[in-house]
Amino acid sequence: MEALDYWDDIDVRLTKLVKNGCVKLPSLEKFGLDEIASNISSEMNGNTFAELYHSHQAFLQNMDLDQKLTPKLFEIARDVFGYKGDMSNQYHIARRIEPGNSKEMFRAHFDSHIFTMVLPIKIPKPASGGTAGDLIYFPNAREKPKNEITNFLGKAYHKRFASKDGIENFAKNHEQHIDDFNDYSPLLFLGNTTLHTNRQVSLDCSSYRLTLLAHFFDPSPKYGAGGLMRLLRNR
């Protein structure tokens, strides 16, 4: 399937993004996700993370992401958030979590990029009482970092909440959202002000969990906190 009318109301949705810090996009189900998930998963060859392999890139091109969404986000980043970098400053990564993986859960963090989009490609079904890696997120959990120092300090401070108990404590005083992505609708949010993490993909889930993470416009220096973490991840 091609994008066709997928982006028809994107201007309205982006207005909500700026106002609320997050917004849902239309479902991806009509894009034929089973084949896409299989292709991307095969290229990942068992890795948990992979940066923009061929099938991943082809899917984003089929969505017309760079034509329909990226320029609009760039305009908002420049006019609303004072971004001075290039539109090409993006980071796209696939995240594949096997059932029972205990490492990729409750790792609460802020992104360094202004915008983050989660595109659900394969969402498993858990048995009764299990979880499928649901995203837990807190829009506007901190103010926009003024510079790389405040960005780093803010990230370091909030690491105390990077656990199940920590997230439950943080939720007592902050607006919490939980998305299981069963509707296959992507989530777009302000990455550098939204604290977010995932629940576990339980051992009793029906399959692996595959999402594509699109990050747009990191205002930090090339070797700032965000750049360092991406460098370590891609070693």
CA atoms within 13 A on the CB side of 101: 21
Confidence band of 49 (pLDDT split at 50, 70, 90): very high
Domains of the chain (ranges, CATH numbers): 10-233 (2.60.120.620)
Higher pLDDT, 222 or 137: 137
pLDDT digits (tens, 9 = 90+) for 170-210: 999 999 999 999 999 999 999 999 999 999 999 999 999 99
The whole-number pLDDT of residue 232 equals: 44
DSSP label at 143?
P
Give the bridge partners for 23, in sequence order: 188
By percentage, how much of the chain surpasses pLDDT 70?
A: 93
Confidence band of 3 (pLDDT split at 50, 70, 90): confident
Q: Are strands 209-216 and 195-198 parallel, antiparallel or unpaired?
A: unpaired
Q: Which residue has the tokens 């810090």?
A: 21
Higher pLDDT, 224 or 69: 69
Is the pLDDT at 235 greater than 90? The verdict is no
- CA gap 99, 109 in Å, rounded: 22
Q: Which of 33-37, 125-129, 165-169, 191-195 has the lowest mean pLDDT?
A: 125-129
Confidence band of 234 (pLDDT split at 50, 70, 90): very low
Range 8-33 average pLDDT = 97
DSSP label at 178?
E
Is the pLDDT at 116 greater than 70? The verdict is yes
